[in-house]
Amino acid sequence: MDKTELLRDDIKYIWRPFTQMKSLENENNKPIIIKKGKGIYLEDIDGNKYIDAVSSWWVNTLGHSNKRINKAIYKQSKNIEHVIFAGFTHTPAIEFSKKLVNLMNNKLNHVFFSDNGSTAVEVALKMAYQYFVLKGQPQKRKFIALKNSYHGDTLGAVSVGGIDMYHKLYKPLLFEIEQALSPYCYRCPMNCDKQSCNCECLESVENILNNTANEIAGIIIEPLVQAAGGMIMYPPKYITKLRKICDKYNILLIDDEVAMGFYRTGKLFAYEHAGIVPDIICAAKGITAGYMPLSVTVTTDEIYNAFYDDDTDGYKTFYHGHSYTAYPLALAVALENLKILEEMNIEEYLKPKIAKFSKELEKFRNHKNVGDIRQTGMVCAIELVKDKKTKEPFNYEDGIGRKIYLEGLKLGAILRPMWNCIYFITPYIITEKQIEKLTDIAYKSLLKVLPDKE
Amino acid sequence: MDKTELLRDDIKYIWRPFTQMKSLENENNKPIIIKKGKGIYLEDIDGNKYIDAVSSWWVNTLGHSNKRINKAIYKQSKNIEHVIFAGFTHTPAIEFSKKLVNLMNNKLNHVFFSDNGSTAVEVALKMAYQYFVLKGQPQKRKFIALKNSYHGDTLGAVSVGGIDMYHKLYKPLLFEIEQALSPYCYRCPMNCDKQSCNCECLESVENILNNTANEIAGIIIEPLVQAAGGMIMYPPKYITKLRKICDKYNILLIDDEVAMGFYRTGKLFAYEHAGIVPDIICAAKGITAGYMPLSVTVTTDEIYNAFYDDDTDGYKTFYHGHSYTAYPLALAVALENLKILEEMNIEEYLKPKIAKFSKELEKFRNHKNVGDIRQTGMVCAIELVKDKKTKEPFNYEDGIGRKIYLEGLKLGAILRPMWNCIYFITPYIITEKQIEKLTDIAYKSLLKVLPDKE
């Protein structure tokens, strides 16, 4: 089929995620047909190449079509592609789990597998709730979640979401939560100053707990970066303090590392920056280097042991599973990924790249519409505003992000700004030279849409 | 690592699905380490071979480690393993969607991709609810589901579940539903006779609708077989009649084909046996021939068009997506799978196997503890009872299923009975000779546990 036919069939048969399908009638909005990937580049059917500045939804780490990973999949497929994971097991799952737990210093040491970020969060919520049931505190069944948070699209995960556009409509199908303030430093909900900030916004968490701690099972956060909310960033000390609050009020700290895990922040998991250990973590995206869905929910002895018992009626069993739980193909990839990251000495490997991004971000600093520049490890974001002084945001209808995206494509990069926020979440293998090139493209795209003159 | 070390590490680091972890202290319950699969056989680390009579959680169709599928994955990985599916697309997704819709006679013709059966159901529920919001009937936000149903483990899917052991505990986190009777023909809730049955149990659906149709968005069913509920089977006319009821009361028929889809019942989808078209179907498991997670929720023009609009505020957009939505690796597999099934002329190919199973099941007929023998296409089940006349079931504590499972392993088959129900859901490539062998093993295992004498 040629391009015209492919596009016709795509739009005819496929309902795309997060997409108003009618918008695809516009020639500018037709999906781009990708036929090849190599390193940081994606290539379309016409031979155009684009830097994948969003790591294909924040998952790719080692570049597209990595030879070692390709071989690991093929080898595994020739042994065993899948086997039921209740009653049966396989070496890749065992080796991966052991390696992961050891990297986490053996404090979070029970790995529960599922298929994606949403399911990892669902597992965490069900586990936290059931934990308190088994501890004789069934009234602790509510969760605290943050404004601007995003934890996935299944209804349990939507329940703890805090972005109206994605979540509000489904309210009649959601369980009730308590919402605390978003630690949105650039637009501090407490009107505090970044320099003197003492995480005053955590008062909103304590206010909830003061009244209702006996009804609360846990709080769920995206560590350091509220990603889908607009790459909102906040300091590690927030998490350090939150850990203390959780201990004080006997609630669980659920750390949703789906987007930030596997070295996106420069460390294996973002919570390490805070020097604490959560009760439950969820991880997905980078776990397979960007190849295929897989996720883990990892927890402590304390929680695991509450379920561990002679159990004649199934009351203490954690009933959750998916057909492809810990499927060998994905585990072979996840294991090879960990080996590659280890050989790369990944934390050291990322340091110069993180520094290079810091340096290159400065070229945006003086643009009249750049309100905030922020960075957490390999995650960089530039928030655009109508007015630097008042921080007045652009309207949704202005479509600034969309326009910059289209300029970026012309110049060879997939930027996909979000909520007036240009961001970079690239594969780790991006070179310093490529970082220069990418930020240049982004800057030029910005200038095209918002010229830096009155 | 040797076997002892592997088992030690497995139990130390992994929390298994649907498993009381303490039960693994028992030597009999240690997970079996699978190192190889070939056709219908799985081979463990000691070289023991087992017929995979459960298709590794009902997913495998073409046998383990299928050479053509292996090559399709490897080839795809060398082109592009994954690309973000919002704004971008790829040939395998387009070709697969077109092929699937054409196989479904173009009535269900908009394919929404997600990652597994649970997410496919979540998509269906959100879509059905939002459909009525967009039609100006936001009060239609409840669902009807059946007793003994199972639709997945994320909290939306759990909400429509009807098996107490799996679902009851989580009630405070679930949305409210209306539960109708299970069409459990062997234990008819209406005390009707199979021969003269007129689907009287559907009265329970109409009773609900008589009172509350204006609050109901849809009913969700597992077509022909309530699988996890114990391979409960019911006739196609139930679905034919249900379709009429849905039309009469203006509610959507959501058909969860996750387990039965992709020819498990002998046809592509089970609803075809009823000569009707549902409003939404969910499919997963067999879609990738048993290789990796992928699912689709497919719907009609009527529903799709309700979302299709100029949409400045996102109100009519369907906000759902996962990082790996329609990832090329899985789509390449799904497409190759459809091609293979087509070349096999799969419906004809299955007929003699289905007949062979029918014949071989007869050897169980006269056993004193065999209460019911049932079959729907390639799904066969034998329900065991304490007393044939009273149909008194065995107790959970009797552990009959578990004992038969252990006997089966000794004889070379993975049986995994469920709720006193021995069942067979094998890969389609099983030969007639192998069907004989498998049913022999099952019968011998049954005799070991329940000798056929008083």
pLDDT score recorded for residue B166:
85
Q: Please report, for chain A, the start and end positions of each structural domain, with discontinuous segments joined by +.
A: 32-65+346-449, 70-344
Encoding tokens for residue A259? Answer: 């987007």
**Which pLDDT tens digit goes with each residue over A331-368?**
999 999 999 999 999 999 999 999 999 999 999 999 99
Tell me if B118 sits within 8 A of A320, measured CB to CB: no
Between strands B41-44 and B49-52, the pairing is antiparallel
Integer Cα distance of B228 and A353 in angstroms: 50
Interface of B with A in 60-99 (CB under 8 A): 60, 64-65, 69-70, 73-74, 77-91, 93-95, 97-98
Strands (E), A260-414: 280-283, 295-299, 370-376, 379-387, 392-393, 413-414
Q: What is the ipTM of this complex?
A: 0.98
User: Which of A8-12, A185-189, B449-453 shows the lowest per-residue confidence on average (mean pLDDT)?
Assistant: B449-453
Single-letter amino acid code for the residue at B293: P
Looking at residue A439, its pLDDT comes to 98
Residue A315: what pLDDT? Answer: 85
| Confidence bin at A195 (pLDDT 50/70/90) | confident
* A94–B36 CB contact, under 8 Å: no
Residues of A in contact with B87 (CB under 8 A): 19, 29, 31-32, 405, 416
Class assignment of domain B69-344?
A: alpha beta
Chosen for mutation from B1, B7, B14 (greatest number of chain A CBs closer than 10 Å) is B14
| Confidence check: pLDDT of B235 > 90 | yes
Residues A422-430, mean pLDDT to the nearest whole number: 98
CATH topology of domain B32-65+346-449: Aspartate Aminotransferase, domain 1 (3.90.1150)
Residue B196 tokens read as 């003269």
Q: Looking at the complex, does the CB of residue A106 fall below 8 Å from at least one CB of chain B?
A: no
Q: Which among B279, B306, B264 is positioned nearest to B220, based on CA atoms?
A: B279
**CA dist B185 to A245, B355, B373, Å?**
54, 22, 11
**From the CB of residue A159, how many other CB atoms can be counted at a distance below 10 Å?**
26
Q: Is the pLDDT of residue A77 over 80?
A: yes
The pLDDT of residue A105 is: 83
Residue A32 makes CB contacts below 8 A (sequence gap 6+) with A44, A409, B87, B88, B89
Average pLDDT, chain B: 96
Note which residues in 351-380 of chain B have CB less than 8 A from chain A. Answer: none
CB contacts of A291 in chain B (<8 Å) are 77, 81-82, 327, 329
- Give the mean pLDDT of chain A: 96
Question: Which residues on chain A are in Cβ contact (under 8 Å) with B52?
Answer: 83
CATH architecture of A70-344: 3-Layer(aba) Sandwich (3.40)
Q: Can you give the pLDDT at residue B454?
A: 55
Closest alpha carbon to B401 in A39, A86, A399: A86
Q: Which residue has the higher pLDDT, B124 or A1?
A: B124
Q: What is the mean pLDDT of residues A296-304?
A: 98
Percent of chain B with pLDDT over 70: 100
pLDDT band at A397; cut points 50, 70, 90: confident
Asked if the domains B32-65+346-449 and B69-344 are classified in one and the same CATH topology, the answer is no
Q: Please tell me the predicted confidence (pLDDT) of residue B313.
A: 74
> What is residue B163's DSSP assignment?
-
Chain A neighbors of B1, CB-CB under 8 A = 91, 94-95
Long-range interactions of A156-164: CB distance < 8 A, separation 24+: A156/A121, A156/A122, A156/A125, A156/A126, A156/B154, A156/B155, A156/B156, A156/B173, A157/A117, A157/A118, A157/A121, A157/A122, A157/A125, A157/B154, A159/A125, A159/B155, A159/B173, A160/A121, A160/A125, A160/A220, A162/A229, A163/A228, A163/A229
Tell me the Cα Rg of chain A: 22
Contacts of residue A171, defined as CB under 8 A and 6 or more positions apart, other chains included, come to: none
Q: Is the pTM of this model over 0.95?
A: yes
Query: How confident is residue B311, by pLDDT bands cut at 50, 70 and 90?
Result: confident
Q: What is the pLDDT of residue A454?
A: 55
Residues 6+ apart with CB under 8 A from A12: B98, B109
Ranges of beta strands (E only) in A265-388 are 280-283, 295-299, 370-376, 379-387
Rounded CA-CA distance A449/A66 in Å is 35
Q: Which two tokens stand for residue A398?
A: 């202005």
**B214 is written with which tokens?**
């204006």
A395 contacts chain B (CB < 8 A):
no
Q: Once rounded to an integer, what is the mean pLDDT over residues A173-194?
A: 96
pLDDT digits (tens, 9 = 90+) for B372-417: 999 999 999 999 999 999 999 999 888 999 999 999 999 999 999 9
Q: Please list the alpha-helical segments (H only) found in A114-232.
A: 117-134, 155-159, 164-167, 203-212
Beta carbons within 8 Å of B174's beta carbon, 6+ residues apart:
A175, B155, B158, B159, B167
Q: Do the Cβ atoms of A17 and B321 come within 8 Å?
A: yes
Chain A residues with CB-CB distance to B323 below 8 A:
56-59, 116-117, 284-285, 293
The amino acid present at A89, given as its one-letter code, is T
Interface contact A22-B309, CB threshold 8 A: yes
Helix (H, G, I), strand (E, B) or coil at B44: strand
Helices (H) and strands (E) in chain A, counts: 14, 18
Q: Residues B132-161: what's their mean pLDDT?
A: 98
CB-CB: which of B78, B85, B130 is closest to A17?
B85
Q: Which residues of B touch A166 (CB under 8 A)?
A: 319
- pLDDT > 70? residue A314: yes
Helix (H) or strand (E) holding B216: strand B216-221
pLDDT band at residue B211, thresholds of 50, 70 and 90? Answer: confident
Tokens 């007869």 belong to residue = B362
Position B189 pLDDT exceeds 80: yes
- Number of A/B CB contacts below 8 angstroms equals 451
